[in-house]
Structure 1
């Protein structure tokens, strides 16, 4: 993520951020023994939008106000870069998300017992 950003590959950086977010959420659910809440009927993990929704409404943890506020913005930025045919992330788009990204990732890694 950081390497992509420093090279000016902002869409790639946003997609890597999206993947990191996805992994951090999954790790938190797995660490709590509640991974089944974020899997479909085939046992596959849900898409990021559903992961974010489930994470925001999960009762086994309390997310900070800053995390709850930043999470949808991170999801949207990653989604736009991954799937937006005409969207191209810019440096300033990602710089706006920097603090929120840190809060969200660290919070989920904390819930996963990895920090």
Structure 2
């Protein structure tokens, strides 16, 4: 979908005459899902984007003569296929990418809704990589989010010193051990075992030269993973 505001402000657009500008607006509007654009809509669009309202008679005549647009019905136009492709090349820098709808495949959206943006992003990536069948990546993101939440738990409970080795955080296996032994917060029984399984799968996804994580591997771990994340978030 074109970013019409920035497109209109560009030197390329500003250098066009009114009919040519109208052709580009027709293309941009149809890229937004509109089947055709009327003269009346075009006139309003010029004003909406901060340009002078065009003379509709001259605009209509210009569009009728244009090879770049097709008359779909009386005073309603759509871009030709050739012009559409030309605009896609010429104005590619002004196309915005629609974010895909990510399903709650592993983690419910509300798990991390109140957390910092970084943690929300990690959770979204867990779900997205699973949805698009990138299971090695899923295992790595599951591991990374868990590690971030272990660190969060210690920091939140004033026990950061317990997981530092000098200025650096301990490696994940030692973080897991520390979370099992700390008196600063308490995790549910069995969480340590689940954490080690999550770590092992993430390690395989990141480092194994001979094994690629499968959907079944992730599915078998997903219930324990959700419970582990929920437990860490409750500390």
Comparing both structures, which one devotes a greater share of its residues to helix? Answer: 1
Q: Is the 8 A contact 1:12 1:81 kept in 2?
A: yes
| Mapping for residues 8-87 of structure 1, pairs under 5 Å | 8-41=133-166, 43-87=167-211
Residue-by-residue CA offset, 1:54-106 (whole Å, 9 max, x unaligned): 11222222221242331111111111111222221000000011011111111
Deviates more, 1:17-26 or 1:82-91: 82-91
Q: Counterpart of 1:96?
A: 220
CA distance in 2, matches of 1:55, 1:33: 13
Q: Counterpart of 2:229?
A: 105
CA distance in 1, matches of 2:180, 2:199: 12
Could you tell me which runs of 5 or more consecutive residues in structure 2 were left unpaired when the two chains were aligned.
1-125
User: Shift in Å at residue 31 of structure 1?
Assistant: 0.5
Deviates more, 1:89-98 or 1:43-52: 43-52
CA distance in 2, matches of 1:62, 1:22: 16
CA distance in 2, matches of 1:64, 1:35: 20
CA distance in 1, matches of 2:196, 2:230: 16
CA distance in 2, matches of 1:84, 1:6: 22
Could you tell me which runs of 5 or more consecutive residues in structure 1 were left unpaired when the two chains were aligned.
none
Comparing both structures, which one devotes a greater share of its residues to strand? Answer: 2
Secondary structure in 1 matching 2:234: helix
RMSD: 1.1
Higher relative contact order (CA 8 A, sep 6+): 1
Q: Which structure is larger by alpha-carbon Rg, 1 or 2?
A: 2
Deviant stretches of 4+, over 2 Å: 59-62
